[in-house]
């Protein structure tokens, strides 16, 4: 187990370097001078040179690349060009908010999807199954930002049930007690969480359903039934437990999907997260922040996958790693 983990961890490193290299060369290839945004026609050539030197843009690309790798080795992302601040600080300001939104989505919406998929799989071919299939496919096929706009328009404006945007009440939050604050934040999470998570939940339901169907046809299920175990026990003890295994991997794999969704959802709901940070940085060609964000995103995904792998190994006794 330990050796397996070590080998996995060793693979993470080249992956991260690969991502950073890819993003770096994409930026290098793109037209436009990053430093342009500082220059007005009145900027004297000397000041221009100073700014360029300040951000190391006068060095050749290979040099900057090596410097970048060297800095990343000590988790040093450099200084944001647009904000003039350390990229690490900047990311720390936004990352917790994105993590909060995605983890609430994962932990609340996924179980719902998995439960739905389980019921569908167990009652394969029933009216419930086909209705649920079509309904979940409907949500699966929906652009998340469009759903977000619709939720906002109806649940926040027309029916006035939930707050429209932001992470908490802008005026009263400062004067709330801690429990009230948590409730307030949760209220603000519901709409973006639903908009972001519905597609993933529908995906989880689809996946779980086919996983159940796969398991239900296997010999050991037949054996269990033949032993005369009640159907409910068979389903609970044998089918669901085994069908859950691949879902663990799905959790890891759906992280990039969630992060993609967060970009759009955070804009619509004015959620101060990584998605908005990276979009703004891309638009202002703020290279250090873009690379930093990609690095963090990849790290998150890798960690997610690692956790999924480990939990897979822990729950599935058949898998032996060495």
DSSP 240: I
Contact between 18 and another protein by CB under 8 A: the answer reads yes
Identified binder of another protein from the candidate list 71, 88, 165, 249, rule CB under 8 A:
165
Contact between 45 and another protein by CB under 8 A: the answer reads no
Contact between 256 and another protein by CB under 8 A: the answer reads yes
Identified binder of another protein from the candidate list 57, 166, 225, 229, rule CB under 8 A:
166
Contact between 320 and another protein by CB under 8 A: the answer reads no
Contact between 218 and another protein by CB under 8 A: the answer reads no
Contact between 167 and another protein by CB under 8 A: the answer reads yes
* Angstrom distance (rounded) from CA 174 to CA 171: 7
| Shortest Å distance, C-beta 114 to another protein | 14
Interacting span for another protein (CB under 8 A) from 17-25, 67-75, 114-122, 226-234: 17-25
Tallying the residues shown for the chain, one arrives at 322
Beta-strand (E) ranges in the chain? none
Query: Please, are residues 134 and 226 in contact by the beta-carbon 8 Å criterion?
Result: no
Residue 86's SS3 state is strand
Phi and psi at 138, nearest 5°, equal -60, -45
43 Cβ contact partners less than 8 Å away, ≥ 6 residues apart: none
| Shortest Å distance, C-beta 322 to another protein | 19
Contact between 310 and another protein by CB under 8 A: the answer reads no
Interacting span for another protein (CB under 8 A) from 62-70, 153-161, 224-232, 310-318: 153-161
Phi and psi at 277, nearest 5°, equal -60, -45
Contact between 103 and another protein by CB under 8 A: the answer reads yes
Handedness of CA 30, 35, 41, 46 (dihedral sign): negative
* Angstrom distance (rounded) from CA 82 to CA 101: 26
* Angstrom distance (rounded) from CA 317 to CA 133: 32
Site map 57..96 versus another protein, x via CB under 8 A: ----------------------x--xxxxx---x--xx-x
Stated as kind and residue range, the H or E segment containing 301 is helix 287-315
Identified binder of another protein from the candidate list 5, 72, 272, 306, rule CB under 8 A:
272
Contact between 23 and another protein by CB under 8 A: the answer reads yes
| Shortest Å distance, C-beta 193 to another protein | 12
Q: How far apart are the first and last CA of the chain?
A: 6
**Between 91 and 240, CB nearer to another protein:** 91
Identified binder of another protein from the candidate list 3, 217, 227, 318, rule CB under 8 A:
217
* Angstrom distance (rounded) from CA 212 to CA 191: 30
**Between 63 and 92, CB nearer to another protein:** 92
**Between 49 and 233, CB nearer to another protein:** 49
């Amino acid at each position: 187990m330990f050796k397996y983990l070590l080998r996995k961890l060793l693979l993470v490193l080249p992956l991260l370097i690969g991502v950073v290299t890819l993003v770096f060369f994409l930026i290098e290839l793109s037209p436009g001078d990053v430093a342009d945004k500082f220059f007005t026609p009145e900027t004297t050539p000397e000041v221009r040179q100073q700014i360029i030197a300040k951000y190391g843009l006068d060095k050749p690309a290979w040099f900057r690349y090596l410097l970048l790798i060297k800095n990343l080795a000590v988790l040093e992302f450099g200084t944001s060009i647009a904000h003039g601040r350390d990229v690490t600080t900047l990311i720390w300001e936004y990352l917790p908010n994105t993590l909060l939104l995605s983890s609430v989505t994962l932990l609340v919406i996924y179980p719902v999807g998995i439960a739905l998929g389980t019921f569908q799989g167990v009652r394969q071919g029933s009216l419930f199954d086909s209705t649920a299939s079509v309904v979940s496919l409907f949500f699966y096929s929906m652009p998340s930002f469009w759903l977000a706009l619709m939720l906002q328009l109806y649940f926040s404006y027309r029916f006035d049930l939930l707050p429209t945007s932001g992470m908490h009440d802008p005026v009263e939050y400062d004067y709330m007690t801690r429990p009230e604050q948590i409730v307030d934040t949760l209220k603000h999470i519901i709409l973006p969480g639903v908009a972001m998570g519905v597609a993933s939940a529908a995906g989880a339901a689809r996946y779980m359903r086919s996983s159940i169907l796969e398991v239900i046809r296997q010999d050991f299920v037949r054996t269990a039934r033949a032993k005369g175990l009640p159907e409910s026990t068979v389903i609970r003890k044998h089918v669901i437990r085994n069908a859950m295994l691949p879902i663990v991997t799905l959790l890891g794999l759906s992280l990039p999907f969630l992060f993609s969704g967060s970009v759009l959802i955070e804009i619509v709901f004015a959620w101060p997260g990584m998605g908005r940070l990276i979009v703004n940085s891309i638009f202002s060609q703020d290279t250090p922040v873009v690379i930093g964000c990609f690095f963090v995103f990849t790290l998150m995904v890798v960690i997610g996958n690692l956790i999924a792998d480990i939990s897979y190994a822990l729950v599935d006794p058949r898998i032996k790693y060495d």
